[in-house]
């Protein structure tokens, strides 16, 4: 279940654990498209601890034709695509905090009244985003992202803006609606308790179908999100051929991009989900070689721990536990 804040455009500054701006600090507008990338900075790779969670799945060998067919991009020119994807969940949002509090209190409804797309970061979320920027700014030239793709939701755009400002990176930025969070429809703003009490038939249907295929009225199943991500992949391959790409989005998007690119089964994806939520401002890294993606990092938060930034874990939706 996701929550929403009373003020959509407010950007909170963290009073504690402030992260100093990188010396190359420079603002990069998130809504600018197709700007040419500048040279990657010559800086040392930060020695950060790696905290990888979940079970990485060994990739079977596949041909380029197999990969193009699976992603729905047969025909036309062949684009090998990005070499690296850094998948980042947005920092903690005001909605995350409100939804978790409501769930723990046994409330039926999250007490927020603005739409999901306008949910801003919490103070801790802004601090997490700045810590992410410090890590990005310390990457070496062979690891620094060269482009950024971002969900249009406010919490994702704020995460990207904070990170780029602190890192001093001037990246080409592409905002894409296909990276938005899962649409919950009639379940929006309801806790798990609220769904069971107010919509018992829907709760029973959800329990039967599971999170992969349950589509609430007016909303999306996880399979629906996977389908829109499959339409995004060929565009990403065409536009970012040979580049390292930073993607700032949501927990469901991170998980389902793994599902699509690693060719996971439903059971394998659910094993990853049951290992724990994708934490706020965590980094998942996928590297591409020989036309196959391999998982290098999953849900890594060493960049937060290294700077004493808060590490937070919020379920993106209540049915993560189904």
Per-residue pLDDT of the chain (322 residues; tens, 9 = 90+): 454 444 333 333 333 333 333 333 333 444 443 333 333 333 333 434 433 444 333 333 333 334 444 454 445 556 689 999 999 999 999 999 999 999 999 999 998 888 999 999 999 999 999 999 999 999 999 999 999 999 999 999 999 999 999 999 999 899 999 999 999 999 999 999 999 999 999 999 999 999 999 999 999 999 999 999 999 999 999 999 999 999 999 999 999 999 999 999 999 999 999 998 899 999 999 999 888 999 999 999 999 999 999 999 987 544 433 3
**CA atoms lying within 13 Å on the CB side of residue 239:** 20
What angle, rounded to 10 degrees, do the helices at 251-261 and 266-274 form? 140
C-alpha to C-alpha distance for 283 and 48, rounded to whole angstroms: 12
Please report the pLDDT score of residue 202 as a whole number. Answer: 97
What is the separation of C-alpha 107 from the centre of its chain, rounded to a whole number of angstroms?
A: 27
95 annotated as ligand-binding: yes
- CATH T-level fold of 64-321: Rossmann fold (3.40.50)
Question: Phi, psi (5° rounding) for residue 39?
Answer: -60, 145
Q: Which residues of 291-300 are buried (b: 16+ CB within 10 A; e: fewer)?
A: bbbbbbbbbb
301 labelled ligand-binding: no
What is the C-alpha to C-alpha distance for residues 277 and 214, in angstroms, rounded to an integer?
A: 19
Ligand-binding site membership of 94 (annotated): yes
- HSE (CB half, 13 Å, CA atoms) of 26? 9
Both tokens of 188, joined, read 């929006």
Tally of CB atoms within 10 A around 274? 10
**In this predicted structure, what is the pLDDT of residue 50?**
39
Q: Is 124 annotated as a binding residue?
A: no
Distance, in Å, from the CA atom of 144 to the CA atom of 243, rounded to the nearest integer, reads 10
Give the model's pLDDT for residue 277.
Answer: 87
Residue 93 in marked binding region: yes
Phi, psi of 101 (to 5 degrees): -65, -45
Q: Tell me which residue of 286, 281, 223 sits closest to 249, measured CA to CA.
A: 281
Q: How far is the C-alpha of 167 from the C-alpha of 227, rounded, in Å?
A: 33
What pLDDT score was predicted for residue 263? 97
Residue 182's Cβ-count burial label (10 Å; 0-12, 13-18, 19+) is buried
Whole-angstrom distance, CA of residue 275 vs CA of residue 268: 11
Give the total residue count for the chain. Answer: 322
Task: Return phi, psi of residue 89, to 5°.
Answer: -80, 145
Q: Are 71 and 234 in contact (CB under 8 A)?
A: yes
- Judge if pTM exceeds 0.85: no
Whether 83 contacts 155, CB under 8 Å: no
Annotated ligand binding at 151? The verdict is no
215 annotated binding-site participant: no
According to the model, what pLDDT value does residue 1 have?
45
Q: Do residues 178 and 232 make contact, with C-beta atoms less than 8 angstroms apart? A: yes
How far is CA 239 from each of CA 71, 79, 172, 243, rounded to the nearest angstrom?
A: 15, 9, 11, 9
Burial of 46 from C-beta contacts in 10 A (0-12 / 13-18 / 19+): middle
pLDDT score, position 77: 59
Tell me the domain boundaries of the chain: 64-321
For residue 304, is it left (φ>0), alpha (ψ between -120 and 50) or beta? alpha
Predicted confidence at residue 78, as pLDDT, reads: 61
């Amino acid at each position: 279940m996701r929550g929403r804040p009373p003020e959509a455009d407010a950007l909170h500054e963290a009073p504690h654990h402030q992260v100093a701006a990188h010396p190359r600090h420079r603002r990069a507008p998130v809504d600018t498209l197709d700007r040419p990338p500048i040279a990657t900075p010559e800086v040392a790779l930060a020695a950060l601890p790696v905290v990888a969670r979940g079970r990485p799945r060994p990739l079977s060998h596949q041909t380029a034709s197999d990969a193009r067919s699976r992603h729905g991009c047969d025909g036309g020119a062949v684009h090998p695509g990005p070499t690296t994807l850094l998948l980042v969940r947005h920092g903690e949002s005001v909605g995350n905090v409100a939804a978790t509090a409501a769930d723990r209190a046994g409330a039926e409804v999250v007490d927020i009244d603005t739409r999901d797309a306008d949910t801003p970061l919490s103070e801790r979320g802004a601090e997490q985003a700045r810590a992410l920027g410090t890590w990005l700014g310390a990457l070496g030239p062979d690891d620094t992202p060269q482009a950024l793709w971002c969900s249009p939701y406010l919490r994702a755009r704020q995460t990207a803006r904070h990170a780029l400002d602190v890192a001093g990176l001037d990246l080409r930025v592409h905002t894409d609606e296909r990276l938005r969070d899962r649409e919950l429809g009639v379940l929006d703003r309801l806790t798990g308790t609220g769904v069971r009490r107010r919509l018992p038939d829907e709760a029973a249907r959800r329990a039967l179908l599971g999170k992969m295929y349950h589509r609430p009225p007016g909303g999306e199943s996880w399979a629906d999100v996977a389908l829109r991500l499959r339409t995004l992949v060929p565009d990403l391959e065409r536009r970012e051929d040979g580049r390292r790409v930073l993607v700032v989005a949501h927990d469901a998007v991170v998980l389902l991009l793994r599902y699509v690119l690693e060719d996971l089964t439903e059971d394998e994806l659910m094993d990853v989900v049951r290992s724990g939520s994708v934490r706020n401002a965590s980094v998942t890294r996928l590297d591409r070689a020989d036309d196959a993606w391999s998982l290098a990092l999953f849900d890594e938060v060493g960049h937060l721990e290294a700077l004493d930034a808060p590490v937070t874990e919020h379920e993106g939706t209540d049915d993560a536990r189904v």
